[in-house]
Amino acid sequence: MVRVLREKIKNKGLYQEHEMKPLLTPSILAANFANLEADIKAAEKGGADYFHLDIMDGHFVPNISFGPWVAKLMKSISGVPLDAHLMITKPREYIPKFIDAGVELIYPHMEASFDVYRTIQLITDLGARAGITLNPATSVKTVEGVLDLIDSVLLMSVCPGFGGQKFIPTTMKKITDLRSLLDEQKPSVRIAVDGGVTLDNVGDLRKAGADFFIAGSAVFKAPDIEQRVRDFKKTME
Ligand code: DX5
Ligand code: ZN
């Protein structure tokens, strides 16, 4: 399902049509780090649109993952764009390092700092694209304060910190509520969903209004990664 959006071009009174194509973003957290290159190449061959880097500091979430060096490593094995999901309490200290490493899109958490607007400004000032992430219990209304700077909103459909958790069903209503808020205030902003995304729920998530699908275990724990990515893309569209 490709959503077509008619958006007014600022100050010109003209309308422009955008295609809101669904994009699949495998999260490498679930990949085999002993043979990362093989997993990444298989997902790339299947048609992965982005790769998702889950950055965890052991403070904001009860787990530690990896830093900007993995972004650099990814850039040496794949041309697919990268996003970084920053589950860290001091995002501004690390944002320049992720951008230097080649990350195109950065998602700090709304809950990580009271001055998240400043964090997002740093991302856009350094020339990357910015999104904002909301935990399951954070209201979609909170995005209104940062809408002028962001391209996408990442809705967590599990509590962040670990791969392989079960999708929280109330996320469906958050997607529809957020889509209507965005349609009124900034229709070009995309909705990403992260956590427990599978072949079984991705069709419903798309119908509810999500555009970017982040999937870890459902992609990298599959017996045939390349085929699984193809199956996802077919089901999303
Ligand atoms: C959770 C991460 C997710 C996770 C998704 O903190 O933000 O990106 O890797 O993994 P699955 O798809 O296994 O739920
Ligand atoms: Zn994530």
Residue 18: per-residue pLDDT: 58
Residue 11: per-residue pLDDT: 47
- Angular region, 198: left φ>0, alpha ψ -120 to 50, beta rest: beta
CA–CA separation, 38 vs 56, rounded Å? 24
Question: Which atom number of ligand 1 is nearest to the Cα of residue 196?
Answer: 14
Tell me if residue 9 falls in helix, strand or coil.
strand
Per-chain residues with Cβ under 5 A from ion ligand 2: 54, 85, 194
Query: Tokens at residue 21, please?
Result: 């194509």
CA–CA separation, 34 vs 58, rounded Å? 22
User: How many CB atoms sit inside 10 A of residue 36's CB?
Assistant: 17
pLDDT tens per residue, range 62-119: 999 999 999 999 999 999 999 999 999 999 999 999 999 999 999 999 999 999 999 9
- Of the residues 39, 57, 83, 194, only one is catalytic, namely 194
CA–CA separation, 215 vs 221, rounded Å? 10
CA–CA separation, 210 vs 61, rounded Å? 25
CA–CA separation, 140 vs 228, rounded Å? 31
Write down the residue that tokens 């009860």 correspond to: 62
Question: What is the residue extent of each domain of the chain?
Answer: 2-236
Look at ligand 1, atom 1, and give the residue with the nearest C-alpha.
160
Q: Judge: domain 2-236, CATH 3.30.1120.10.
A: no
Tell me if residue 46 falls in helix, strand or coil.
helix
Which amino acid appears at position 102 of this protein?
G
- Of the candidates 79, 84, 43, 44, the one whose C-alpha atom is nearest the C-alpha of residue 66 is 84
Write down the residue that tokens 């509520």 correspond to: 177
Which residues of the chain have a pLDDT value below 50?
A: 9, 11-12
Whether 148 is catalytic: no
Residue 17: per-residue pLDDT: 56
Whether 49 is catalytic: no
Residue 5: per-residue pLDDT: 64
User: DSSP labels for 55-81?
Assistant: EEBSSSSS-B---HHHHHHHHHH--S-
Which amino acid appears at position 138 of this protein?
T
Total H helices, total E strands in the chain: 8, 10
* Ligand 2 centre distance from Cα of residue 216 (Å): 8
Residue 6: per-residue pLDDT: 58
In 59-216, which residue ranges form alpha helices assigned H by DSSP?
68-77, 91-100, 116-125, 171-185, 202-208
Which amino acid appears at position 213 of this protein?
F
Question: Which atom number of ligand 1 is nearest to the Cα of residue 85?
Answer: 7
